[in-house]
């Protein structure tokens, strides 16, 4: 069993992370609050809040059968005015700039299966995904529908290391089963 309650703050998250070998993170004040408990297979994140400069991350979750998502609920929200301050930390290539927002919700659907909905938006476009998730480790029975709208196929190609794509809008819809 594990119980963690933590509050931390400081003038520079970049400086703190550099002590752990994570470099190139912008200097900005930060605050972290965490209340986490794991008893048997039950995991509860009563609160996880992180403020990094003007960026905000908030999460709450309950997973009675962790790591399975059966019976789980979760809510994550992450936003800020300048994603470029977080690029290295998040692993996002240099073409992402300006405001960003990401949101994830997990709840049981009407059949008792874990259902998720996520939305992510940057200057690169907007991705919406929703569907049901099977149990780990195989996740059999999962089906996620997605919608992607982006102003530039070329910029998306740069992220994937694909050169010479046309600089035009793209819309894609599909499913991952």
Q: Give start and end residues of each alpha helix (H) in the chain.
A: 13-18, 87-90, 153-160
d(CA 152, CA 143): 27
Q: What is the mean pLDDT of residues 95-111?
A: 91
Q: Is 96 helix (H, G, I), strand (E, B) or coil?
A: coil
The listed range with the strongest mean pLDDT (9-23, 34-48, 85-99, 159-173) is: 34-48
User: Which has more confidence, 151 or 69?
Assistant: 151
d(CA 122, CA 102): 9
Cis omega (within 30 of 0) for bond into 106: no
- The per-residue pLDDT of the chain, averaged, comes to 90
Q: What pTM did the predictor assign?
A: 0.82
Residue 11 has pLDDT above 90, yes or no: yes
pLDDT, position 93: 62
Please write the tens of the pLDDT for every residue from 26-54: 788 999 999 999 999 999 999 999 998 89
What is the token pair recorded at 41?
A: 């297979």
Q: 140 falls in which pLDDT band (50, 70, 90)?
A: confident
């Amino acid at each position: 069993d594990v119980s963690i309650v933590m509050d931390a703050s400081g003038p520079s998250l970049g400086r703190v992370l550099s002590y752990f070998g994570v470099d190139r993170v912008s200097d900005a004040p930060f605050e972290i609050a965490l209340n986490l408990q794991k008893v048997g297979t039950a995991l509860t994140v009563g609160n996880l809040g992180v403020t990094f400069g003007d960026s905000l991350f908030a999460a709450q979750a309950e997973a009675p059968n962790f790591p399975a998502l059966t019976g789980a609920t979760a809510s994550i929200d992450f936003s800020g005015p300048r994603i470029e301050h977080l690029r290295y930390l998040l692993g996002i290539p240099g073409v992402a700039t300006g405001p960003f927002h990401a949101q994830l919700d997990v709840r049981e659907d009407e059949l008792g299966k874990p259902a998720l909905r996520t939305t992510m938006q940057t200057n690169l476009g907007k991705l919406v995904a929703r569907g049901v998730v099977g149990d780990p480790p195989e996740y059999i029975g999962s089906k996620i529908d997605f919608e992607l709208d982006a102003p530039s196929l070329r910029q998306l190609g740069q992220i994937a290391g694909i050169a010479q794509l046309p600089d035009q809008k793209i819309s894609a819809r599909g499913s991952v089963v």
